[in-house]
């Protein structure tokens, strides 16, 4: 079954047995050995979707939070077919030293993506790594070169590329020519994404290795705003809302329009409304990505205050074409032709009857579960064929680096021109120095190798 037919079948309500049968075929009938680094919220979401569609054996879990790790081990034992409890580790290097894993999932905070991913491919594993792939551009370059050097399959968690209704909109509206020429795409998020409040710094809890959690990032005092889960509010660990929410819709637009690198990236913004919080990411920001070769501009906006211009689309992407307008989100899409023609509406497809555990799983975004499953199946098919998955590490690098460039342009107060072949900003030594963040000792920043 090819990928498009599979996704079409999934959107129509694919039976559980068929999905697992397809997964087994993708794995050549063998139970792949799986390890997860970062079994927090989305780490478990990813892992449990993989368990749903593939005959895998989860043998290893790693986290610096002992309480989170123990809870995840119990949940995995309950969910996987063997009912075996996985081994647990506090250091990913010890886990990977075993060299007995076929697949490694990485769902750590963003500042901990690069080193474990590179170590995993060096240990012979194929990798599913969450977005954004890195916190600086050179990390992403090193990750791409490591994947290619070691011949490993790396799928990035930008699962809109495997979302049935997104693919449907791409095929039925964009590829069918119903928009005509597209010159402008708006991407946006109006959710409140910053951590509110200003709790005091404190000693880390005894179950958390704060030194290891911080890793190569600058050392800050422990604060409950950072762990668990709200670390994206700090530039030390993430690229803020642009790195968290913009990358999804930017990558979606790139996927649907089949475009590569932007030529120029500009941005402006800052903390304009909520200066009282410890959070140091922007609460208001606009970024412009110009694709000269495609006569296209993609414009991002976020603000964590006020109302959404369209309550049905608080986070999404809008394509403006000469023949009509297409709005798309994780929940739905709407096409409105110019001149009063017949509009088209579609909703996300849930699969709660085929996968009843989705109904009760803690913190699961039920609308995202099918997308993650299909993204995992695409990953497994690439493992079987040793080909590139739909969100190959190179695509993740392009989308991640473009968002990082937007933040750098905002910080520097000027538009950046990008040379993708050289992997550098054109004529801007200051910007190029910022492509690599300093690492805290003893951690050493990875460097790309010529492959």
Residue 361 has pLDDT above 70, yes or no: yes
Which residue ranges form the domains of the chain, and what is each CATH number?
A: 3-161+371-392 (3.40.50.720)
pLDDT value of position 2: 42
DSSP letters spanning 79-113:
HSTT-PPPEEES-HHHHHHT---SEEEE-S-GGGS
Residue 7 has pLDDT above 50, yes or no: no
- Both tokens assigned to 247: 């990358």
Q: Which of 445, 428, 392 is nearest to 138 (CA)?
A: 445
Helix (H) or strand (E) holding 328: strand 324-328
CB 174 within 8 A of CB 252: no
Each residue of 82-124: pLDDT tens digit? Answer: 999 999 999 999 999 999 999 999 999 999 999 999 999 999 9
- Both tokens assigned to 76: 């995995």
Q: Which residues contact 292 (CB under 8 A, 6 or more apart)?
A: 263, 264
Question: Per-residue pLDDT averaged across 364-377, rounded?
Answer: 96
Q: Could you tell me the pLDDT band of residue 5, with boundaries at 50, 70 and 90?
A: very low
Question: Per-residue pLDDT averaged across 264-273, rounded?
Answer: 96
Rounded CA-CA distance 10/374 in Å is 8
Beta bridge partners of 60: 35, 87
Residue 252 has pLDDT above 50, yes or no: yes
Q: Which of 89, 53, 88, 51 is nearest to 73 (CA)?
A: 88
Q: Could you tell me the pLDDT band of residue 424, with boundaries at 50, 70 and 90?
A: very high
Q: Which residues contact 430 (CB under 8 A, 6 or more apart)?
A: 412
CB 58 within 8 A of CB 46: no
Question: Per-residue pLDDT averaged across 317-328, rounded?
Answer: 98
pLDDT value of position 198: 85
Q: Which residues contact 173 (CB under 8 A, 6 or more apart)?
A: 179, 324, 326, 333, 335, 344
CA torsion, points 109, 115, 120, 123, in degrees to nearest 10?
-160
What percent of the chain has a predicted confidence (pLDDT) above 90? 86
pLDDT value of position 276: 85
Higher pLDDT, residue 283 or 276: 283
Average pLDDT of the chain?
Answer: 93
This prediction's pTM: 0.94
pLDDT value of position 277: 86
């Amino acid at each position: 079954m090819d990928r498009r037919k599979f996704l079409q079948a999934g959107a129509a309500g694919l039976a559980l047995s068929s999905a697992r049968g397809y997964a087994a075929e993708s794995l050549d009938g063998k139970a792949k050995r799986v390890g997860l680094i970062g079994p927090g919220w989305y780490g478990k979401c990813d892992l449990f979707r993989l368990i749903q569609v593939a005959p895998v054996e989860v043998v290893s879990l790693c986290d610096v939070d002992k309480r989170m790790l123990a809870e995840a081990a119990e949940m995995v034992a309950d969910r996987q077919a063997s009912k075996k409890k996985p081994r647990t580790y506090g250091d990913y290097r010890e886990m990977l030293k075993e060299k007995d894993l076929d697949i490694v999932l990485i769902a750590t905070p963003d500042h901990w993506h690069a080193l474990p991913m590179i170590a995993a491919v060096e240990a012979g594993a194929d990798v599913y790594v969450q977005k954004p792939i890195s916190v600086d551009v050179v990390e992403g370059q090193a990750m791409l070169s490591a994947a290619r050097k070691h011949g490993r399959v790396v799928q990035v968690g930008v699962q809109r590329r495997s979302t049935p209704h997104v693919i449907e909109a791409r095929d039925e509206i964009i590829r069918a020519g119903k928009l005509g020429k597209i010159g402008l795409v708006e991407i946006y998020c109006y959710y409140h994404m910053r951590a509110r409040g200003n709790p005091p710094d404190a000693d880390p809890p005894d179950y958390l290795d704060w030194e290891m959690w911080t890793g190569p990032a600058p050392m800050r005092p422990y604060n409950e705003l950072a762990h668990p889960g709200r670390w994206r509010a700090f530039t030390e660990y993430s690229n803020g809302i642009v790195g968290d929410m913009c990358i999804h819709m930017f990558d979606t637009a790139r996927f649907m329009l089949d475009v590569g690198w932007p030529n120029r990236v500009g941005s402006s913004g800052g903390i304009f409304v909520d200066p009282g919080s410890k959070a140091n990411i922007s609460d208001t920001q606009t970024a412009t990505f110009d694709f000269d070769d495609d006569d296209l501009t993609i414009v991002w906006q976020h603000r964590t205050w006020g109302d959404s211009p369209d309550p049905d689309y608080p986070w999404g992407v809008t394509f403006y074409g000469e023949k009509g307008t297409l709005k798309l989100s994780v929940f739905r899409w709407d096409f409105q032709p110019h001149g009063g023609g017949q509009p088209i509406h579609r909703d996300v497809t849930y699969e709660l009857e085929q996968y009843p555990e989705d109904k009760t799983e803690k913190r699961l975004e039920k609308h995202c579960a099918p997308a993650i499953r299909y993204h995992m199946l695409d990953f497994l098919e690439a493992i079987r064929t040793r080909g590139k998955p739909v969100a190959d590490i190179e695509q993740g690098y392009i989308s991640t680096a473009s968002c990082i460039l937007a933040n750098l342009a905002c910080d520097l107060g000027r538009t950046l021109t990008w040379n993708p072949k050289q992997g550098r900003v054109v004529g801007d030594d200051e910007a190029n120095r910022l492509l690599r963040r300093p690492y805290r000792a003893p951690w050493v920043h990875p460097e790309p190798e010529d492959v």
